[in-house]
Structure 1
Amino acid sequence: MCLIALHHAPADSVPDSRHAVVLIANRDELHARPTAPLAAWDDAPGLVAGRDLEAGGTWLGVHRRGRFAAITNVRDPDFVPEPPVASRGLLVRQALETDDLEHWLHRQQCDHALAYAGFNLLVGDGEHLWHLRRDRHGTTLDRVTPGTHGLSNASLDTPWPKLEKVTQALTDDVIHQRVETLPQARRGFSDQRRPEDERLPDTGVGLDLERFLSPAFIVGDDYGTRATTSVVLVRGDVNNGVDEHFVIHEQRFGPGGSFLGETRLTLPISRR
């Protein structure tokens, strides 16, 4: 996962909101890396996600206990962790399945995250949202404030051009109550345009690669955007007979940005 926009609306900050979480994200990856589409996992009851078939983890997933998690890498060629390095996608599964999330997060912050290369992990349950980050300076853990946020391969809300555009697009959809379809956000996440060179970040990978990676939707023969996934956590409404649930929609893409298919699922939440 390389680009995320998320609206976090806990009940104590927006009590009349039907949607506790609205998230949309692009996964950028090598097209040759084997991947399973969005589905319930047979070996992990309650977990729904796409799956990296090479290492066994995922880039974004939800759990019927009401939890969601998504991860991006940190783009920093000078940060080389000591081997062996575990797949960062395993962190998403662990965050979704652990019985005590806060304890698990603090263990990662203390020393367990040293097993991974640089990453940003967002994990929440509709009321609380955490950002766990590992980079060359160490591992940090922060509570994320209510509102709309964006995350790419730097830290939370770093003003990269593509991140500012998709975050604003999601904000527009939330304000105008277009959460069911997210038309502006989907247009933003499918945008293949590159910003001007002077607006590009300098992450140490060289200008040509910065240009290639700069659109929200990356098109390439070997590497590019593999999936666009949206997650909406809908609050229960006893008066209208609505149970708390996730709505997850994944669109999949191949080399050259070719459309490969889509999956839309509803996952009832049981917090017991």
Structure 2
Amino acid sequence: MCLIALAWRMHPRYRLALATNRDEFHARPTLPLAAWHDAPEVVGGRDGQHGGSWLALRGRRLAAVTNVRRPPEREGHSRGALVADFVRADAGTHEALAALAAEAPRYRPFNLLAHDGDTLGFATNLPTIPADGEDGRDFAMRPLAPGLHGISNGALDAPWPKTETLIARLDDWLASPASTDAKPDFEPLFAALADTTPAQDARLPDTGIGLDLERFLSPAFIRHENYGTRASSVVLIADDHALIVERRFGPGGVFEGETRVVV
């Protein structure tokens, strides 16, 4: 995942509402949203290279991950394994995240969301910008307070333009009839996730990759032949069920299909 906006305990029906885009190289093998063959109770997209995931659910248990952008690229375990490990397990959010503390520096830089059905937590292994020449990997975790939150490839709730815009669109959706109908209308959220408007230079973050790449990566939806938005997803978790909808895209942003699963 490279962009997540979420509303935690703000809606009368859905304790968690989440809208997210996954950006990745188009050549990287990927499996679409489905039940996993080796864990049929888990649903999510899957990385065909390492077997992990960027977003997955088991019932109302959910995990999602983004990378943290700060060159040079740091090697380590695949962060998608964090998602797969959490949704397969039974430990509570706090217990599961606390157990990561010793191993977290061995993973590639990550931001991790974890929801055990009742509590929602956040963890990262790159909590501060490292000094030149330092790796900087450490560990930090916190429970999330009720409200709106956003994550991209920097700190939790960092005011990146695309994150702030998606949070605002999610907030509008929550207050609209589209979110309260028996069959919610997700089109406003998918329209927000499909926004290709680049941010103004003055509002761009500085993650150490240079101005041209910051511009390229600044829209919610990235359209390119080699690297771009591969999946847009909306997740709603109620007291008695969870719903996930995934739309997939190929090179150049070409639509490749949609899957909807209720668990």
Give the TM-score normalised by structure 2. Answer: 0.91
Whether contact under 8 Å (1:52, 1:58) holds in the other structure is: yes
Alpha-carbon RMSD? 1.4
- Pick from 218, 231, 234 the counterpart of residue 230 of structure 1: 234
Separation of aligned partners in 2, 1:223 and 1:79: 17
In the other structure, the counterpart of 2:256 is 260
1:103-154 alpha-carbon deviations (Å, 9 max, x no partner): 2211112x11122011100011343110011112511010000011111001
Cα 1:124/1:177, change in 2 over 3 Å? farther
Correspondence 1:172 to 2:166 = no
Gaps of 5+ in 2: 127-135
Matched position secondary structure for 1:108: coil
Q: What letter is aligned with 2:104? A: A
- Pick from 35, 46, 50 the counterpart of residue 51 of structure 1: 46
1:169-202 alpha-carbon deviations (Å, 9 max, x no partner): 0011112242322333222110001011111111
Give the TM-score normalised by structure 1. Answer: 0.88
- Size of the aligned set, in residue pairs, is 249
In the other structure, the counterpart of 1:61 is 56
In the other structure, the counterpart of 2:79 is 88
Whether contact under 8 Å (1:170, 1:182) holds in the other structure is: no
Gaps of 5+ in 1: 236-243, 268-272
Separation of aligned partners in 2, 1:252 and 1:219: 12
In the other structure, the counterpart of 2:152 is 152
- Pick from 217, 224, 228 the counterpart of residue 220 of structure 1: 224
Matched position secondary structure for 1:39: strand
Matching of residues 1-272 of structure 1 within 5 Å: 1-9=1-9, 17-64=12-59, 66-78=60-72, 80=74, 85-101=76-92, 102-109=94-101, 111-135=102-126, 136=136, 138-179=138-179, 180-235=184-239, 244-267=240-263
Runs of 4 or more consecutive aligned structure 1 residues displaced over 4 Å after TM superposition: none
Q: Percent sequence identity over matched residues?
A: 45
1:231-262 alpha-carbon deviations (Å, 9 max, x no partner): 11122xxxxxxxx1111100000011000001
Deviation (angstroms), 1:155 = 1.2
